[in-house]
Structure 1
Amino acid sequence: MYSNELIRGTLKTIILQLLSENDKMYGYELSKVVKERTKDKIVLTEGALYPILHKLEKDKLVTVTFDTVGNRTRKYYALTESGKNSSKVKRNELFDFMETLSAFMNPKTSVQCMH
């Protein structure tokens, strides 16, 4: 599992990415998929997940619908058009950042400054 410090800045991007791949998802489903896909290296706690979902809703990047499954009502999140655009931007930004970090962490493969 990675430190909270490392994953904190990527959670919004992770959530947007999952929602872009699916029509709609509910909170527990999002956390379960993240855990499975990362082989338990990233665990989305309720305390981390729901504030991000609420902020995405407030920023009109997701819409919320309710469905009853059995005797339980689930709150589903789906991307708006703005959310789809934001997902692409955040994803590209993260890929660019990973390339930058990789170049930084592997200085022999990046261009060296001559003094």
Structure 2
Amino acid sequence: MRSNSLFKGSLTTIILTLLEQNEMMYGYEITQKVKEIANDLKITEGALYPALHKLEGDSLLTASFKKVGNRTRKYYKLTENGKTESVNRLNDLKDFVEQMQLILNTKLTTQ
């Protein structure tokens, strides 16, 4: 991956989708899951936590604290509105990718 700039606008969709798939996750776990799935994509804490807080403020996520060993972790979970928003954003992203493929394929065939 040459640049993460294309993914910056998709961070919210990535978070919502991962939470939909995994039910409940904490911040570091989200960054590691993204790294595991898309090795070249790095989500920094500086980008992740403001996005999580915004989603929580928008009532798309709820947060709860759990003690794990000597640590207290903040786990995030989708609300019902978050589940709906996750589906909507994923559909929007799929539509966008399809449109981009049409544009790029047209450009490639005309050259």
Please confirm whether the aligned pair reaches a TM-score higher than 0.5, indicating the same fold: yes
Distance 1:108 1:22 in 2: 38
- Counterpart in 2 of 1:22? 22
Q: What is the number of residues matched between the two proteins?
A: 110
Supply the AA of the counterpart residue of 1:17: T
Identify unmatched segments of 5+ residues in structure 1. none
- Counterpart in 1 of 2:100? 101
- Counterpart in 2 of 1:61? 60
Q: 1:60-85 deviations in whole A, cap 9, x for unaligned? A: 00000000000000000000000000
Q: Aligned with 2:9: secondary structure?
A: helix
Supply the AA of the counterpart residue of 2:85: S
Q: Aligned with 1:75: secondary structure?
A: strand
Q: Percent identity?
A: 54
Larger Rg: 1
Supply the AA of the counterpart residue of 2:36: E
Query: Deviation at 1:4?
Result: 3.1
Q: 1:25-51 deviations in whole A, cap 9, x for unaligned? A: 00000000000001x221110011001
Distance 1:23 1:98 in 2: 26
Give RMSD over aligned pairs.
1.7
1:3 and 2:3 matched: yes
Distance 2:86 2:101 in 1: 22
Counterpart contact for 1:103–1:109, Cα < 8 Å: no
Q: TM-score, normalised by structure 1?
A: 0.90
Identify unmatched segments of 5+ residues in structure 2. none
Query: Deviation at 1:108?
Result: 6.3
